[in-house]
Chains A and B, each alone.
Chain A
């Protein structure tokens, strides 16, 4: 279950990985998501290797189909990542857009 405290704790980590450039290592496009992601489907998810070799997952936004390939260059951005909790706290997280 998602709690506001959990979102707060997580967001301290997220700011460390924003605005980082990297390359797509693997990708998929999700057509049947879980409940919290239903309104975003279908959406692509990429596994990205940053320049410092750290690996991060995120959805790809503002993309063209040609961006969906291994080796595409992307940058990490802050976006709302799932439907809001009952308490109304918005969960922000990492997504990527093509460079």
Chain B
């Protein structure tokens, strides 16, 4: 069985003094220190990153990581748009399933704020289909189409979506590493300008810099030596059409649904066993769809459920969602997000989540989406 034995994340935000590989190096050194491992004890590395090739003309990042780590081992980069981190983790888990007694480092990182919003939006659009790009559809635009469809179908308004951001900003205020630490109100969300109707600035995750790393091992002597560890019960990655228009249902992310069903089957636990989840809230609508497609809420109920504040920290709910602040408040350095989500679940299960520590949680779930739903990764951890 694979265990996570350490997690480190850099600050998320506009980090103008740091380059992509400054952030990668900080995350590597941070997680090695936490686990008291030396670079020579790492057997393989998986790196999640989307944009370095597009924005910075930097590819062949595995070799750059070898230079930083000063070792000669297998290193791979995984790219699956905003699910690049989750995909790297999934590959690392599969690598360990095929190789015994190994320690694997998984890093996710992205550097986005060196560029104008238009340049970053264009680069991110690389993960949309050619036709979507030609129509001028951005990712906010694709999720806005989904949101518009959902709100009309289930008779909700923009206000229903706003609750997601308010909750996640509150959680962000409790997380020192979050991009945004400011609490916001439903009115603040509704007053913010449109990015793509009906989604507004405060429905949307920001463009951020950051890196996050975890160490996975299936070496039992190593697990025994560590102060903290959590079990990886399942990690499932599923793909779907890149174009939103090719999907049967516009109000459902099928890849999420299928990955979740497989992950719960493998982990041999039920939805109600999960006490904590990090779900992919790149836009407010995305958290509502995630909660439905993961099977926590019924289809169409999300707009109503979110208004009950049950998934917010401190309200005594059975399932607390996005304690890190989610992508909305913690920030969304694309490649880092999937690792940060898993890291947050690790912190919660090992009782290191400080001000936002949820009590008595045994199982947690992380959900990472690429594009408008072309990739989904669902990971389940146990204490």
Please report which residues of chain A, range 25-59, place their CB below 8 angstroms from some CB of chain B when the two chains form the complex.
25-38, 40, 42-43, 45, 47, 55-59
Q: Is the CB of A26 within 8 A of B250?
A: yes
B135 an interface residue at 8 Å Cβ cutoff? yes
Q: Which of A29, A33, A57 contacts B132 (CB 8 A)?
A: A57
Contact assessment for A32 and B250 in the assembled complex, using a CB-CB cutoff below 8 Å: no
> How would residues 112 to 150 of chain B score, 1 for a CB under 8 Å from any chain A CB and 0 otherwise?
000011110110010000111111111011001110110
In the assembled complex, the Cα of A94 lies from the Cα of B122 at a distance in Å of 20
Q: Which residues of A lie under 8 Å from residue B220 when comparing CB positions? A: none
A38–chain B nearest beta-carbon distance, Å: 6
> Which of A26, A33, A38, A94 is B149 in contact with, Cβ under 8 Å?
A26
Is the CB–CB distance between A55 and B197 below 8 Å? no
Q: Are B141 and A28 in contact (CB under 8 A)?
A: yes
Bound together, the chains give a CA A58 to CA B244 distance in angstroms of: 13
A36 touches B250 (CB 8 A): no
Give the contact stretch, choosing among B36-44, B173-181, B188-196, B353-361: B188-196
A: number of interface residues (CB 8 Å)? 31
**Contacting residue for B135 out of A26, A38, A42, A58, CB 8 A:** A58
Chain B contact-residue range equals 20 to 34
Residue of A nearest to B134 (CB): A93
The residue in chain B whose Cβ has the minimal distance to the Cβ of A68 is B197
Over the window 9-33 of chain A, the binary record of Cβ atoms lying under 8 Å from chain B Cβ atoms (1 yes, 0 no) is 0100000000000000111111111
- Contact B149 A30, beta carbon cutoff 8 Å: no
The reply to whether A82 and B149 contact each other, CB–CB distance below 8 Å, is no
Residue B308 at the chain A interface, CB threshold 8 Å = no
- Is B245 among interface residues, defined by CB-CB distance under 8 A? yes
A25 pairs with B144, CB closer than 8 A: no
Chain A residues whose CB sits within 8 angstroms of the CB of B125 once the complex forms:
34
Bound-complex Cα distance A10 to B131 (A): 10
* Chain A contacts for B67, CB-based, 8 A: none
Residue B187 at the A interface, CB < 8 A?
no
Is A38 a contact of B193 with CB atoms below 8 Å?
A: no
Cβ contact within 8 Å between B122 and A36: yes
Any chain B CB within 8 A of the CB of A90? Answer: no
Q: Are B194 and A27 in contact (CB under 8 A)?
A: no
Interchain nearest-CB distance for B137 vs A (Å): 5
Residues of chain B lying within 8 A (CB to CB) of residue A31: 193-197
Taken together as a complex, chains A and B put the C-alpha atoms of A59 and B121 apart, in Å, by 18
Q: Is B221 an interface residue (CB 8 A)?
A: no
Given A27-B148, A28-B141, A29-B196, A37 contacting B136 (CB threshold 8 A): yes
> Contacts A27-B145, A28-B197, A70-B152 hold; do A35 and B119 have CB atoms under 8 A apart?
yes
Contact of B136 among A26, A30, A56 (CB under 8 A): A30
A18–chain B nearest beta-carbon distance, Å: 14
Bitwise interface map of B from 143 to 178 toward A, beta carbon under 8 Å scored 1, else 0: 011101100100000000000000000000000000
A57 close to B196 (CB less than 8 A): no
Determine how close the nearest CB of chain B comes to the CB of A14; give it in whole angstroms.
9
CB closest residue in chain A, given B116: A35
A36 to B119 alpha-carbon distance, docked (Å)? 9
A33 to B145, Cβ gap below 8 A?
Answer: no
Task: Determine whether the beta carbon of A26 is less than 8 Å from that of B118.
Answer: no
22 of the cross-chain contacts (CB-CB < 8 Å) are A25-B149, A26-B149, A28-B141, A28-B145, A28-B198, A29-B144, A29-B194, A29-B197, A30-B141, A31-B194, A32-B195, A33-B121, A33-B136, A34-B138, A35-B121, A36-B136, A38-B118, A42-B194, A43-B136, A55-B245, A59-B136, A94-B134
4 closest residue pairs by CB, A with B: A34-B122, A28-B144, A57-B135, A37-B136
